[in-house]
Amino acid sequence: MAEQALAIGIDIGGTKVAGGVVDADGVVHERARRSTPHRSTSPRVVEDTIVSVVEELLDSSTGPIVAVGIGAAGFVAADRATVVFAPHLSWRNEPLRDALASRVALPTFVDNDANAAVWAEHRFGAGRGESHLVMVNLGTGIGGGIVLDGQVIRGRHGIAGEFGHMQVVPDGIRCECGNRGCWEQYASGNALVREARALFSAGSPVVSDLFDRVGGRPEDLTGPLVTEAARDGDPLACELLAEIGRWLGLGIADLAAALDPGTFVIGGGVSAAGDLLLEPARAAFRRQLTGRGYRPEATIVAAELGNEAGLVGAADLARSDTLAR
């Protein structure tokens, strides 16, 4: 039956290609994974990796597969076929869907990985039942996705949701995108680590616990390590996460003014800090929200699907598109 149809979802990141066979309830039945070829390799090598994962999943699936959905970390054109730009891979205006069509004998769709993730959280995760949902992914940078009236909003050119590059501080910290003061320079994993390393460099005594955790090697400091220290009660780590949370709340208030969602879902690696991050974010959001006290407030919740959100959402979008035809 159509409602029981399975689909393959593929999540392509800077370090891995992860895939799964996903049913109509968002349950992953089979999984496969490969390392992402180095960014200097040709598009064909990355395509070979994707095809290898798809073939493994087709061989292991216990039921018929109706479609393949690809979630790619990069700008995907509105045609859901072309990767315009992928910062960690060699794709530049790459016709990925057509390149795979002759090698994967199934309907294939390409989307941005954050679009796939927000769709998964909308259908099966923290945003279930919410028709107006915005997802903010805090990792090395900040990505995001939008669902309004139950539909993924991709924008005229397919690249909506690049929230991390909203300017929040004029002439602020230089961003990798070339601009200054981008939101992700203040509310991301990179920002968390940068601030901790700045205290290392200053020789601040408040950094002693983190210093011990990395054996005096600031280059070994990571976002997850700061989060672990905060969970263990280290005051500095808690303070650093609270600062990231404050910036997160400020940016979310701007998004609320523009989009008015009912729920913000916070995903990505930094969200593992839970309320150590989210409570400061909620407080800053309430202080900054336009019309505060006279309008309904969106809820701010942690994502539920973790690292599999991208592949689950890609599979479900591909399945839905195929069965609607």
On whether residue 74 sits in a domain, the answer given is yes
Does 168 share its domain with 104?
A: no
Model pTM? 0.93
Q: What is the pLDDT of residue 41?
A: 59
Tokens of 18: 């992860």
* Helix ranges (DSSP H) in the chain: 43-60, 96-101, 113-124, 189-202, 208-213, 223-231, 235-259, 275-288, 309-324
Q: Please, are residues 113 and 11 in contact by the beta-carbon 8 Å criterion?
A: yes
From the list 142, 91, 104, the residue with the least C-alpha distance to 281 is 142
Residues 164, 275, single domain; the answer is: yes
159 shares its domain with 28? no
Q: How many CA within 13 A on the CB side of residue 1?
A: 3
Counting the structural domains of the chain, the total is: 2
Q: Are residues 258 and 180 in the same domain?
A: yes
**CA distance to 55, 59, 90, 100, per residue, from 5 (Å):** 18, 16, 33, 21
Q: Is residue 225 part of a domain?
A: no
**What does the H/E/C string look like for 153-176?**
CCCCCCCCCCHHHCECCCCCCECC
CATH number, domain containing residue 65: 3.30.420.40
What are the per-10-residue average pLDDT scores of the chain (325 residues)?
A: 79 89 96 78 84 96 93 90 84 92 92 96 97 95 95 94 94 93 95 92 87 88 92 94 97 97 95 96 97 94 96 97 83
Q: Kindly state whether residues 75 and 171 are assigned to the same domain.
A: no
Q: Is residue 251 part of a domain?
A: yes
Domain extent, residue 264, equals 128-188+236-303
CA distance to 44, 189, 217, per residue, from 226 (Å): 38, 10, 14
Q: Are residues 51 and 171 in the same domain?
A: no
Residues 108 and 144 in one domain: no
Is the domain of 247 the same as that of 150? yes
Residues across the chain: 325
Q: Would you say residue 215 lies in a domain?
A: no
